Amino acid sequence: MSMLWLPPTHEQKLIEDRLAQNAELEAQVERYDFLETWNAELKRIDDRLIMVQAKEGTTHPALRPGRFYVLLVDAGVPTAIFPPDGSGYQEPSSQVYEDIRRWDGWSNRSQKQREKRMKELEDAQAYRRRRETEDKFEHAKDVIHQMQNPWVSFSRDHKWTNSTKGRRAKRAA
C-alpha cells in the first residue's frame, strides 16, 4: 500500500502495473544453478537480492543481452536493477559486492564516502571562490596603480595614435 492516498480503483491499477512490470522483467532474465553461490552470498547482505543473467533476446530497456545483474525484489514495489546504469557485469566478480556496498545509502561506509566527496566539493568551491576574490583584488590593484602612475610608451614598436598626425587629430579637423 502506498503512503499517498489514492482512490481504490487507481491504487489497484497501480498495484497491477507494478506486478506487470515485475513479471515482464522476470521474463527477460534467467536464473542459473551456478549463480546459487552468488545468491547465497547476496542473501547474507540482503535477503531480497538475487543475481540473474539477461536473456540473449532481451528487449527490456534496462538490460543488455548476456550480462549479469543483481535484482532487488521486494513485494509491492518495482524490482530494482543493479547496476542502475544498465551496463551489467560481463562476468560476476567481487566488484559486485563493492558496488552493492557503494549503492547502500544506509551503510556507514557509504555515508563516510559521500561525506568525503561532499567535503572535497565544498573545498574545491571554497578554493575557486578564494581564487576569484584574489583575482578581482589583483585586477583592482592593477587598475588603481595604472590610474595613479600613468605612462606613455615611447617605444617605436607601438604606434601612438593620439598625436597631431593620428586618427583623433583628423576627426577634430
pLDDT of 40: 85
Q: Pick from 100, 97, 98, 57: which is nearest to 82 by CA?
A: 100
162 found inside a domain: no
Co-location of 35 and 67 in the same domain: yes
Q: What is the pLDDT confidence band of residue 3, given thresholds at 50, 70 and 90? A: low
170 found inside a domain: no
Q: What is the pLDDT of residues 68-125, one digit of tens each?
A: 888 888 776 778 887 766 677 778 787 787 777 777 666 676 677 778 888 888 898 8
Total tally of structural domains belonging to the chain? 2
Cα distance between residue 139 and residue 111, in whole Å: 42
pLDDT of 57: 84
Output the CA angle 124-130-117, nearest 5 degrees: 15
Cα distance between residue 159 and residue 168, in whole Å: 13
142 found inside a domain: yes
* Contact in structure between 55 and 30 (CB atoms under 8 Å): yes
Co-location of 119 and 38 in the same domain: no
Co-location of 67 and 42 in the same domain: yes
Co-location of 14 and 83 in the same domain: yes
Query: Alpha helices of 60-107 — where are they, by DSSP H?
Result: 95-103
Co-location of 142 and 66 in the same domain: no
Co-location of 110 and 95 in the same domain: no
Co-location of 74 and 25 in the same domain: yes
Co-location of 118 and 55 in the same domain: no
**55: domain range?**
8-104
* Contact in structure between 70 and 46 (CB atoms under 8 Å): no
pLDDT of 135: 93
Q: What is the pLDDT of residues 5-57, one digit of tens each?
A: 778 787 788 878 888 887 888 787 888 887 888 888 888 877 888 888 888 88
Q: What is the CA radius of gyration of the chain?
A: 33
DSSP label at residue 151? -
Co-location of 141 and 116 in the same domain: yes
Cell of 105: 545509502
